[in-house]
Amino acid sequence: MDLHLVTYFVAVVDHGGITKAAQSLYISQPSLSQAIRTLERRLGTTLFDRTGRRLTLTDEGRSFEVAARRILADVDRAKSKVAAVRELAAGRIEIVTYSAFSIHPVIELVRRFRSRYPGILVRVVATDGPAGVHTALRRGEAEIGVTDLSVEHAGMITVPVVEQELVLAVPPNLADGLPNPVPRSLLPSIPLVVDLTNRTDAMQSGELTDGKDLDIAVDCAHPSATWELVMRGTGATIAPRQVAEAQMPTAAVRSLDPPMSRPVGLVLRAGEPSPAAAAFVAIATNGTTGA
């Protein structure tokens, strides 16, 4: 059954006849009559009693009317659901990142997005590093990645967002006598709490050591436990400045010498992004609060 035949039928009922219905539908009277006969043939029944001067519904016609109105209401609901998503009043967006960025800058980006589009659910998917971000994007598990832009992103769209400074968060008991900034050459003498299974952290420590072994006090897979262990004096850790300052308030925050930073940005699959993804990109690259 074609949807337009249902629409025609309801129009004929609502206008009480072929002539007025044809006018409201902007089609000719013969083609509307033809369409109604086609509908009757397909349903195998007679919907209208054509014996009198006025067109009246048969019993079958009346029961079809109930079904037809329900179908049209369903169609409207479906269209408005899609429109809500298209117009960003509803829907969801999946973002993939790894622990290096789970707090900074992801929380600020999500906060700006949600304050502008409160109807859209934000899903943050965790992976273990830049390669995991690519995998999640390619598999369609997420549409936007928040990742390190100094890594190769061939074939993807990249959007720079912010330069993230990495600092040393040092427990008070280990901070005494430590210069500020801390020369990288001093790192092997400081016990550290880091996540060695996290590929980016491991890469960092490789970059930091110059071949010298770091003193890994705790290889810790749980970020919030890492923050607690630092504040309790077990060791220092390397973290984005914003994370060090907000999550480890009792730790001393020291820059490294030479300083250490990484460009953070968005990556997307090539091609046209969904409306929500396009909105996320716009909000991430527009420095204002977007409220």
Partner 1 sequence: MEFRQVEYFLAVVENDGINGAAAALGVAQPTVSQALRSLERELGVQLFHRIGRGMVLTAAGHSLIGPSRQILRDVGGVEDLFTSLEGEITGRLDMAVFPALAIDPLVDLVAQFRKAHPKVAVRFGEFRAEETAASLIRDGHCEFVVSHLPIEGGYGLEVIELGEQEYWLAYPPGTDLPEGPVPLAAMPDIPMVLVPRGGGAMGDSIDSAMRRAGVRLDVGVVTDHREARLPMVLAGLGGSLVERQLAESAQDHAVVRPCDPTFTRAFGLVFDPDSLSAVGQAFVDLVRSANA
CB 128 within 8 A of CB 284: no
Candidates 2-10, 117-125, 162-170, 261-269: pick the segment binding partner 1 (CB under 8 A): 117-125
Residue from 110, 169, 251, 256 touching partner 1 (CB under 8 A): that is 110
3-state secondary structure of 241: helix
Which residue of 15, 69, 114, 241 would you call a contact of partner 1, by CB under 8 A?
114
221 binds partner 1 (CB under 8 A): yes
Nearest to 193 by CA among 233, 239, 226, 152: 226
Q: Smallest gap, in angstroms, from Cβ of residue 164 to partner 1?
A: 15
Q: By rule CB under 8 A, what string of x and - marks binding of each residue 9-38 to partner 1?
A: ------------------------------
C-alpha span between 174 and 177 (Å, rounded): 8
Examine residue 232 and tell whether it contacts partner 1 (CB under 8 A). Answer: yes
Question: Going by DSSP bridges, is the β-strand pair 256-257/182-183 parallel, antiparallel, or unpaired?
Answer: parallel
Task: Name the one range near partner 1 by CB under 8 A: 2-10, 42-50, 106-114, 261-269.
Answer: 106-114
Rounded distance, CA 50 to CA 61, Å?
Answer: 12
**In the numeric block, which tokens belong to residue 234?**
């077990």
What are the CB-based long-range contacts (under 8 Å, 24+) for 202-208?
A: 204/166, 204/238, 204/260, 205/238, 208/184, 208/238, 208/260
Q: Please state the closest distance from residue 52 (CB atom) to partner 1, in A.
A: 52
Verify binding: residue 116, partner 1, rule CB under 8 A: no
CA distance 89 to 82: 10
Q: Which is nearer to partner 1, 8 or 98 (CB)?
A: 98
> In this structure, which amino acid lies at residue 82?
V
Which residues ranging from 175 to 214 are in contact with partner 1 (CB under 8 A)? 191, 197
Tell me: does residue 105 bind partner 1 (CB under 8 A).
no
For partner 1, which is the closer residue by CB, 40 or 94?
A: 94
The CA distance from 7 to 1, in Å, is: 11
Q: Say if residues 191 and 219 touch (Cβ distance below 8 Å).
A: no
157/202 with CB nearer partner 1: 202
Q: Does 124 contact partner 1 by CB under 8 A? A: yes
Indicate the helix (H) or strand (E) that contains 279: helix 275-285
Residue 233 near partner 1 by CB under 8 A:
yes
Burial class (CB in 10 A: 0-12, 13-18, 19+), 226: buried
What's the min distance (Å) between Cβ of 232 and partner 1?
4
Q: Is 126 in the site for partner 1 (CB under 8 A)?
A: yes
For partner 1, the closer CB: 39 or 239: 239
| Residue 122 lies near partner 1 (rule: CB under 8 A) | yes
Under the rule (CB under 8 A), what is the footprint of partner 1? 97, 99, 102-103, 106-108, 110-111, 114, 118, 121-126, 191, 197, 216-225, 227-229, 232-235, 246-247
